[in-house]
Amino acid sequence: MPDAKLSAARTWALACGVALLGACSSTPKDPTAGWSPNKIYAEAKDELKAGAYDKAGPLFDKLEGRAAGTPLAQQAQLDKAYAQYKNGEPVLAVATLDRFMKLHPASPALDYALYLKGLINFNDDLGLFGSITRQDLSERDQKAAKESFESFKELITRFPDSKYAADASARMHYVVNSLAESEVHVARYYYQRGAYLASINRAQTAIADYQGAPALEEALFLMVQSYDALNLPELRDDARRVLEKNYPQTTYLTQGFKTKTQPWWKLW
């Protein structure tokens, strides 16, 4: 009987050993194991150029570890963020950029990091649903737009001579118009539902925060109409005078609200 137990134990041990060897043999090999950092970078850039962003990202990740503490590792972080952005992973891309800026606050590529972060949040692709419903930027959540504006603003403030500054400035103008239109969109919503005081408050916010934006003409008209609905003729007339002074060619007072035939930002 002891011999039988010993034989069974040996059989069990042998089976476990075979299983372990099988598990080890099934572990995928790292094809970059013998590559130099420069070779990994070259391969990752080739994948990036080919549009294989899902393959480029992991390669940049490996490079960051292999070349830790070198300028090549910093470049790998930036390129990884770009690959993540192009691969439809904006949250990961922003996280990668935030980490880069925290670890390398004096990097000569900091202006690019800020620009790319602004660009990721700027993203004005409305997608299929937006095109079907004719939804424009002003009708969406503006959190990303505000974050985009802050990134571009920091870029221009800290690096006014950056090669990215001019484009960042143009995009800031675009974002300001979008944010202003967003406030007016909400003000219009409140007005149409009889919430006149709420409409006035949102219109005033747009006027105070986004001077010069095209949407402010309608904001003033909303104030005129809301004060009239509240039977406040003096405030109504004040708002009307401001509207006529700033927009002498306005058609709101004679034609009322305009029907949108295309997203407002397509005009700019």
- pTM, full prediction: 0.72
Do 59 and 40 meet the contact criterion of CB atoms below 8 Å apart? yes
pLDDT, one tens digit per residue, over 44-85 is: 999 999 999 999 999 999 999 888 889 999 999 999 999 999
Mean pLDDT (the chain, rounded): 84
The DSSP symbol for 201 reads H
The DSSP symbol for 166 reads H
In sequence order, which residues have a C-beta less than 8 Å from that of residue 64 and are 6 or more positions away? 73, 76, 77, 80
| Residue 80: its H or E element | helix 71-86
78 in a structural domain: yes
DSSP H helical ranges for 193-258: 196-209, 216-229, 233-246, 252-255
259 in a structural domain: no
How many domains does the chain divide into? 1
- Say if residue 221 is exposed, middle or buried (CB neighbours under 10 Å; 0-12, 13-18, 19+): buried
pLDDT at 134: 45
149 in a structural domain: no
Centroid of chain to Cα 82: 12
Examine the pLDDT at 129 and tell me if it is beyond 50: no
Output the six-digit token pair for 124: 């004005």
Do 116 and 85 meet the contact criterion of CB atoms below 8 Å apart? yes
95 in a structural domain: yes
- The domain in which residue 40 lies consists of 36-102
Output the six-digit token pair for 238: 């004040």
202 in a structural domain: no
CATH number at residue 75: 1.25.40
